[in-house]
Amino acid sequence: MKISVVGCGYLGAVHAACMVELGHEVVGIDVDERKIELLAAGTPPFFEPGLPELLASAMASGRLRFSSDIADARGATVHFIAVGTPQREGSNAADLRYVDAAVDALIPHLAAGDLVVGKSTVPVGTAARLAERITTGAPGASLAWNPEFLREGFAVADTISPDRLVYGIDASDTTAEGILDSVYSRALAADTPKVVTDFATAELVKVSANAFLATKISFINAMAEVAEATGADVTALADAIGHDARIGRRFLNAGLGFGGGCLPKDIRAFMARAEELGVDQALSFLQEVDAINMRRRERMVDLAREVVGGDVSGRRIAVLGLAFKPNSDDVRDSPALDVAVRLTELGADVVATDPQAVETARLRKPQLAVAGTAMEAARDADAVLLLTEWQEYREIDPEELGSLVRTRAIVDGRNCLDPAQWRAAGWTYRALGRP
C-alpha cells in the first residue's frame, strides 16, 4: 500500500520505517527540515535501538522517502498522523495545534477513498471533531483512530509486533477496517489481538492505558515512601507482591519515578479533559499519582543533601543518567535531568553524563556541565547519583569508581545496584525505598 506518515519524531520516524519493513511504500513528512534532511540521508534524528539498521534497509529498498512538503502525501491512500501533542503552556491540557495544522494541511491533498489514521495521543472527542473536518474538506475521505502503544527503547519491535491493535472507526465507515487490516496484515497473521471500536473508546484506551501504567509506578513509589519510614525494602516488597499474577512484577520498579514525552503529559491532559467533561472526580486520583511521582524527585534532592552532610552548595556531584529511561536519548520531562538541574540551582557543582542523552540534555539546559563517561563525571565527586539505569551503569565496578571520587557515597535512584556489593567496597549506599 502507499502510505504517508505526517510527523517524523520518536513515533512517526519509527512508524514510517516499520511500514516499509511490513511491505508498504512510504513517504515520511515533517515540517522540521533538519529532521527530514537527516532521515533522507538514512540517519535517525534521535537514538532508538534498531532504527539505524531498519532505516538503512528501508531506504535501500527504494520504498521509503522523506519530504518537508505535505503535497508529497498525494497519491498515498493511508495517511498516518503522528505529530506531537505536548502539554499546553500554563495548563494541563494537550496542545492540539500540531494535529489540527497537520490535518488542515493534508486535506487539500486527499482523494476520495483515502483514509487518515490518527496515531497521536489526543483527548477524547478529538477524532470526531477531525472526522467532520475531513469529510467536509475532502469528500469521500475518512478518518480512523489507531492509537500507538510503543515504548521508546523498544519502538521497532513494538511497532512490528504490537501487543494489540485498536481501531477506532465511525459506525458508517464500511472500508476503514479492511484498509487497516491490509496495513497490519503481518501482525494480524501472527494473531495479534484486534479491538474494533468507536472513536471515543479508541482514544480512551490509549490514555487509560497510560494512566494505569503511571498509577502502577506511583503505587510502588508510595510504598517506597512508607518503606523509607519503616526501614522496609520496597524492592523485596515489589518482588513479593509481583508474584501474584493478578498484580504482576512489571512496572513495579520503585525509584525516581516516571518521566518522558508520554506518561506525565498524558495523565495531566486526561485530567484536564475529564474536567471539561464534568467528570473530574473520576480522575482525581491521578492528581495523587502525579504528586507521588514528583515527590520522588524532591526526595532524591534531599538524599543528595544528606549524603554530602546537609548542604550541596559547592559540592561536586556526579550525575549518572540524564535520559528519562535507558536506551533512549529522550529527556522530555526526565526525572534525571530535573534532579541534575535542581541541584545545580542549589549551588552544587554537578557534572552529568549519559550514554546517549548528553546532547539532548544540553539542548534544553545549556548550563549543565557534562562529561563523556561515568568515570569522568565521578572524578573528585563528593557524591554519585545514579538516575537512569543504563546497563553500563549497573555494571560499574565500585572499586574502579571509588578510586576516582573524593568520597565513596552513592545514591541509587533506580534501585538497580546491589547494596551489599557497594557497601563491601566501602561506599555509603542510599536508595529510594530501601535501607
Ligand X SMILES: NC(=O)c1ccc[n+]([C@@H]2O[C@H](COP(=O)([O-])OP(=O)(O)OC[C@H]3O[C@@H](n4cnc5c(N)ncnc54)[C@H](O)[C@@H]3O)[C@@H](O)[C@H]2O)c1
Please state the residue numbers annotated as binding site for NAD(+).
30, 35, 85, 121, 152, 265, 332
253 binds, among ligand X, ligand UPG, none (CB under 5 to 8 A by kind): ligand UPG
Which distant-in-sequence residues (6+ apart) come within 8 Å of 304 by Cβ? 312, 317, 339, 343, 348, 383, 385, 411
257 binds ligand UPG (CB under 6 A): yes
> Residue 309 in contact with residue 407, Cβ under 8 Å?
no
Kindly state the smallest distance separating residue 180's Cβ from ligand UPG, in Å: 18
Kindly state the smallest distance separating residue 36's Cβ from ligand X, in Å: 9
387 binds ligand UPG (CB under 6 A): no
152 binds ligand UPG (CB under 6 A): yes
Q: Is 270 or 427 the residue whose CB approaches ligand UPG more closely?
A: 270
Of the candidate residues 67, 85, 92, 121, the single one contacting ligand UPG (CB under 6 A)? 121
Residues of span 263-302 touching ligand UPG by CB under 6 A: 263, 266
Beta carbons within 10 angstroms of residue 239's beta carbon = 12
Q: Is 84 or 326 the residue whose CB approaches ligand X more closely?
A: 84
432 binds, among ligand UPG, ligand X, none (CB under 5 to 8 A by kind): none
Kindly state the smallest distance separating residue 247's Cβ from ligand UPG, in Å: 13
Kindly state the smallest distance separating residue 57's Cβ from ligand UPG, in Å: 24
CA gyration radius, the chain: 23
Angle at 382 between CA 377 and CA 386, to 5 degrees: 55
Q: Is 28 or 402 the residue whose CB approaches ligand X more closely?
A: 28
Start-to-end C-alpha separation, the chain? 56
Residues forming contacts to ligand X in the complex (CB under 6 A) are: 6-12, 29-32, 35, 82-85, 98, 101-102, 105, 120-121, 148, 150, 152, 261-262
d(CA 272, CA 283): 9
Residue with cell 536508595: 431
Q: What is the DSSP string of 27-57?
A: EEE-S-HHHHHHHHTT--SS--TTHHHHHHH
Q: Which residue number has the CB closest to ligand UPG?
A: 262
Q: Which residues are annotated as a binding site for substrate?
A: 149-152, 206, 251-255, 259, 325
- Residues 201-240, one symbol each (x = binds ligand UPG by CB under 6 A, - = not), give ---------x--x---x-----------------------
Instruction: Kindly state the cell numbers that stand for 207.
Output: 490514555
Best CA proximity match to 300, nearest among 254, 261, 331, 260 = 254
Question: Distances from the Cα of 209 to the Cαs of 198, 214, 258, in angstroms?
Answer: 17, 9, 14
Helices 51-60, 12-21: axis angle to 10 degrees equals: 50
6 binds, among ligand X, ligand UPG, none (CB under 5 to 8 A by kind): ligand X
Kindly state the smallest distance separating residue 204's Cβ from ligand UPG, in Å: 14
Q: Strand, helix or coil at 73?
A: helix
339 binds, among ligand X, ligand UPG, none (CB under 5 to 8 A by kind): none
d(CA 169, CA 306): 55
Of the candidate residues 129, 149, 188, 365, the single one contacting ligand UPG (CB under 6 A)? 149
Catalytic residue list contains 18: no
Residue 72 is given by DSSP the state G
251 binds, among ligand UPG, ligand X, none (CB under 5 to 8 A by kind): ligand UPG
Q: What is the DSSP string of 409-433?
A: EEEETTS-S-HHHHHHTT-EEEESS
Residue type, 46: F
Size of interface with ligand UPG, in residues (CB under 6 A): 22
Provide the annotated active-site residues: 262
Q: Which residues bind ligand UPG (CB under 6 A)?
A: 121, 148-152, 210, 213, 217, 251-253, 255, 257-260, 262-263, 266, 324-325
